[in-house]
Amino acid sequence: MYLAMLDRLLSVARAVLAALRGQLDALCWSLTPLSLSLSLPGRRRDSPSRWERKQEWDETSPTPTSVNYHFTRQCNYKCGFCFHTAKTSFVLPLEEAKRGLAMLKEAGMEKINFSGGEPFLQDRGEFVGKLVQFCKQELELPSVSIVSNGSLIRERWFKKYGEYLDILAISCDSFDEDVNVLIGRGQGKKNHVENLHKLRQWCREYAVAFKINSVINRFNVEEDMNEQIKALNPVRWKVFQCLLIEGENSGEDALREAEKFVISDEDFERFLDRHKDISCLVPESNQKMRDSYLILDEYMRFLNCRNGRKEPSKSILDVGVEAAIKFSGFDEKMFLTRGGKYVWSKADMKLDW
């Protein structure tokens, strides 16, 4: 009894600390819009930053053709292998986010993907909806997409913003609801798989390309998903090998302990072989994932994952895209090799809605 009460008190304390941290970050942002260093915990302004020290990273500037903007770390699920965890509650003001997106467009961005955390948590989906509309209507980007767990999406969102969205990717790691609960995708009485089918139907009705993302781990690696994937008929089925990132889901300062979810390369290959007849399958091993994504965090800093943890650049809002992207660790060749550039505008997909 006492242990349960203590556990609840600790949970409340963590939530309060996270909220205070987010408020402090927001205050620092408003007081010093040209410097993000104040909002970063543990950073002294008079000490040399990682940015100022000599780097071994590539000094050339790749083109940010496809960018993944994780504008929030907050999430209503607790997936045990998550590698972008709720370390802050900070979200940029809407106009600052738009400014950064316009800078990326100017630097050559063709595709923006909004992710988290859970993108639909912020203002009940209005924040991401406004960004989607801005990117399609004002920036005229060829492709605008979202990755979501789907639990908070309502039909009214499609009615308001669906026309501006090219692709909606829903995370689904299993078609066995007990496995989803075990992984951390359970949400009370809601059924994750039933909701997936509802979202699939809305995508048809509102002309949004439907995609599925699955993380293959120890709890679903033996599952046969052929029948269910073929029935849902997504434009792409992204299949990821469970990945460890120090400081996120591995190590002393991590909020998750994903080691128990890890599978071998051989196990991953066996899963792929079992589903080799699914034409929309796009496999991504740990090697392909680590360096082939351009990731922006909630401060619009590029995250370099080359060393097995996320090393942030300075914000593009402070130093510009060209200067910041040099420290992204982005492997443009691997991006192309893994099929990172594909037909990603729904206008070009010629889908039978």
Spot the catalytic one: 75, 135, 172, 242: 75
Q: How far from chain centre, in Å, is Cα 1?
A: 38
CA atoms within 13 A on the CB side of 271: 29
Spot the catalytic one: 79, 135, 203, 242: 79
Spot the catalytic one: 28, 82, 203, 280: 82
CA angle 339/152/77 to nearest 5° reads 75
> Which helix (H) or strand (E) segment is 145 a member of?
strand 143-148
Token pair 């009940």: residue = 124
203 given a catalytic annotation:
no
Amino acid type, 277: D
Would you say 152 and 130 are in contact if contact means Cβ atoms under 8 Å apart? no
Amino acid type, 104: L
Read off the DSSP letter of residue 85.
Answer: -
Separation in Å, CA 115 to CA 128, 147, 148, 218: 9, 5, 7, 24
* Strand runs labelled E in the chain: 66-70, 111-115, 143-148, 167-171, 209-216, 236-241, 281-284, 295-296, 301-304, 311-315
242 given a catalytic annotation:
no
Token pair 């302004």: residue = 45
Separation in Å, CA 67 to CA 47, 104, 126, 325: 31, 9, 21, 11
Angstrom distance (rounded) from CA 335 to CA 337: 6
Residues identified as active-site = 75, 79, 82
